[in-house]
Amino acid sequence: MKETISKLKKFVSTSDQIVAFTGAGFSAESGISTFRGAGGLWSKYDPSIYADVNRFREDPSYYWSFFRDERYPVIKRAKPNEGHFALVELEKRGKLYRVITQNIDGLHQVAGSSDVIELHGNTRKIFCLSCDRVYSMDEAYRLLQEDLPPRCSCGGVLKPGTVLFGEPLPQAALDMAMLAVRNCDMFLVLGSSLVVYPAASMPRIAKKSGAVLVIVNIDPTPLDDMADLVINESASKVLSRLI
């Protein structure tokens, strides 16, 4: 492990346009359950019922009951972990160019990262489908105590600011992410299994554009063979030793 960390430090020392790409495993260390795999949220909640945009349009109460009982309590008490703060430190040192995240918990911003591209949105932001008024997660939760689904003062139904199944990724976020991927000199994967597309194509694009590719994930990924360095360890532990 010591030799591996030394190699990672060398890559970081020669890079000043690092893009960090974070997945569910990164937030798992803050107590937020992953969605896939044994014990993941989708093993308990069928995503075609609780997180599908067409089902949401038919009956949003399914999603909002899931938010009330599962998502809100977990995200409300979650705190940034060592990995989040390590990325903030890399940004302060002028090494980190962008954070691209698949996560929807907003913990990068809570930790202090200033340039975060959220591919799947942010569950802390809620908006009205009728008038576009924006509510905080706490405000939506309070409204849930009165009505299921929660409604805006105009009477419109509230929707989470996250990408549901059946919805496209926000084009602006995707465009910014692809620009960062093509311009980075190091692409650092942290806690992602690299199976969800189009995000999983980003390491390939970065590598083809000349970037060093480092993958830090507890389990192997489909792209390990093309990486310059693979570390099968928790992302927060690795980053805490890097700083």
Structure confidence by residue, pLDDT tens digits, 64-110: 999 999 899 999 999 999 999 999 999 999 999 999 999 999 999 99
229 has a pLDDT exceeding 90 = yes
Pick the CATH number of 1-32+80-120+168-243 from 2.30.42.10, 3.40.50.1220, 1.10.10.10, 3.40.50.300: 3.40.50.1220
The CA distance from 204 to 207, in Å, is 5
pLDDT (tens digit per residue) in 140-198? 999 999 999 999 999 999 999 999 999 999 999 999 999 999 999 999 999 999 988 88
Q: Which residue, 115, 117, 119, is CA-closest to 94? A: 115
* Annotated catalytic residue, options 84, 98, 120, 237: 120
Annotation says 108 is catalytic = no
Confidence band, pLDDT 50/70/90 cuts, at residue 37: low
46 vs 144 pLDDT, higher one? 144
Asked whether residue 44 carries a pLDDT value surpassing 90, the answer given is no
- pLDDT tens per residue, range 105-133: 999 999 999 999 999 999 999 999 999 99
Does residue 42 surpass a pLDDT of 80? no
pLDDT value at residue 196: 83
SS (H, E, C) 11-33: HHHCCCCEEEEECHHHHHCCCCC
Q: 242 exposed, middle or buried (CB, 10 Å; 0-12, 13-18, 19+)?
A: middle
CA–CA–CA angle 120, 124, 129 (5° rounding): 80
Domain boundaries, the chain: 1-32+80-120+168-243, 33-77+123-162
pLDDT greater than 70 at residue 39: no
Q: What is the Cα–Cα distance from 47 to 35, expressed in whole angstroms? A: 9
Superfamily of domain 33-77+123-162: SIR2/SIRT2 'Small Domain' (3.30.1600.10)
Do 33-77+123-162 and 1-32+80-120+168-243 have the same topology in CATH?
A: no
Side-chain half-sphere CA neighbours of 27 within 13 A: 24
Using CA atoms, how far apart are residues 216 and 150, in angstroms rounded to an integer? Answer: 39
DSSP 52: B
pLDDT exceeds 70 at position 36: no
DSSP E strands: which ranges in the chain? 18-22, 96-101, 116-118, 121-128, 134-136, 158-162, 186-190, 212-216, 229-231
What are the tokens at 211? 């970037």
Structure tokens at 170: 């926000």
Region 50-64: mean pLDDT is 94
- The pLDDT tens digits of the residues spanning 17-34 come to 999 999 999 999 998 877
| Residue 243 pLDDT | 84
**Per-residue pLDDT at 52:** 94
What is the model's pLDDT at position 48? 87
SS3 for 100?
strand
**Is the pLDDT score of 46 beyond 90?**
no
